Structure 1
Amino acid sequence: MGNSGTAEDEGRRRGRNETEEERADRMWTELIQEVRVAQMGVQILFGFLLTVVFQPKYERLSDTDQTIYLITVVLGAVTTGALIGPVSLHRLVSGRRVKPQAVRWASRLTVLGLVLLLATTACSLLLILRVATHDGFVPYLVTGVVVWYLLCWFGLPLWTRYRHTER
């Protein structure tokens, strides 16, 4: 019979009563808080990685370990770019009345940054464990950690979204 606005209807209604612009503002604020956490982690990791090449032990690393190191540094650099990208995007389009679109692009950059952060962390862990242990179990251990990250960062959120989103 249509929406009569009764208390019963109000109890069943979900979501917020906000305009597209209000929603974009809220989502932008939430996204920036999330990006700050990821940025901090990648910047600390990347800063640490940049110092490794200047250590005396670097010259004694195997060719494989040096290759892993170089891949890890490049991954750290592109991860930093993806996670700082939303800030630049916001600054360059601010005031242009495209916030909903900017939020979508910033969200995509953030997810890309998280995938790259996963790869950077995995490569860092691989390098550190190879140098520290020289054991054959290292790839299995790194794989286990990557699976854990995939579950925490993507599996649980996607399951929650699927399980608790009304269709």
Structure 2
Amino acid sequence: MIGYTTKRDAIGPQALGGGPQRCAVRLAGGDRKESVGADTRLREVARRAGSADSDIVPKEPQPLPPTPRNETPEERADRNMVELLQELRVLQTGVQILFAFLLGVAFTSRFPQLTAFQRDTYVVTLLLTVITSAVLATPVALHRGLFQRGVKPRIVALSSLYAEVGLAFLALALNGAVLLLMDLVLGRIAAITITTATTVMFAGLWFLVPWALRRM
């Protein structure tokens, strides 16, 4: 029987690829290309991810919300009372200085030469200073008189009211002292002008500004 050989069989492995070694080289080259292509794709994915992260704007840290004081009503009343007494201590120092100054005026050599208006201004200012001292000391008397009675919140509310009234009397007493001194030094018209300006100043700083802040 006549045997037929195909062209592939006639050519042989050397004619096709140059032998098994050359085939192995070709396979290694293909694997190397696939590896390089995979690395390229990974670098491209990483580059895109990096650019996407760079487009994200970092958010600024938000401030923490204020937390309420963890205190009972009694503790809040105690704290408010301590703060109020410290404020009254500052006011009483100013009242004592003003009162000492007015007492010393009465013993000066020029005091008998004062006019009727100046004497009246002096007496009214001295009395306003005494009233101021009494009103500002009332919270201390309330705290001592109602000690351990379980009414601390009521004491704080009344003491705050007395402090505001004491501020009003203190402003009047200070303006009275300004009027008396300016009348002695500069004359009646200048004294009235300066006293009006100081009255407006005290009213604005001590009463109008807190009132406006409460309404905001």
> What is aligned with 1:56?
109
Q: How does 1:137-156 map to 2 (within 5 A)?
A: 137-156=190-209
Per-residue Cα deviation, 1:17-64 (whole angstroms, up to 9, x for no partner):
422211111110110111111110011101111111111111000011
**1:57, 1:43 → 2: CA distance?**
23
**2:94, 2:159 → 1: CA distance?**
18
Per-residue Cα deviation, 1:107-161 (whole angstroms, up to 9, x for no partner):
1111111000000001000001001111412212111111111111111111112
Larger-Rg structure: 2
Distance 1:135 1:69, change over 3 A: closer
**1:161, 1:17 → 2: CA distance?**
24
Structure 2 gap segments, 5+ residues each: 1-63
Alignment equivalent of 2:143, drawn from 77, 80, 90: 90
Q: How does 1:11-160 map to 2 (within 5 A)?
A: 11=65, 15-160=68-213
* Secondary structure of 2:189's aligned partner: coil
Q: Answer 1 or 2: higher relative contact order, Cα 8 Å, separation at least 6.
A: 1
* Secondary structure of 1:136's aligned partner: helix
**2:67, 2:192 → 1: CA distance?**
46
Structure 1 length normalisation: TM-score? 0.86
Alignment root-mean-square deviation, CA: 1.4
> What is aligned with 1:3?
none
**1:137, 1:54 → 2: CA distance?**
26
Structure 1 gap segments, 5+ residues each: 1-9
Distance 1:14 1:137, change over 3 A: farther
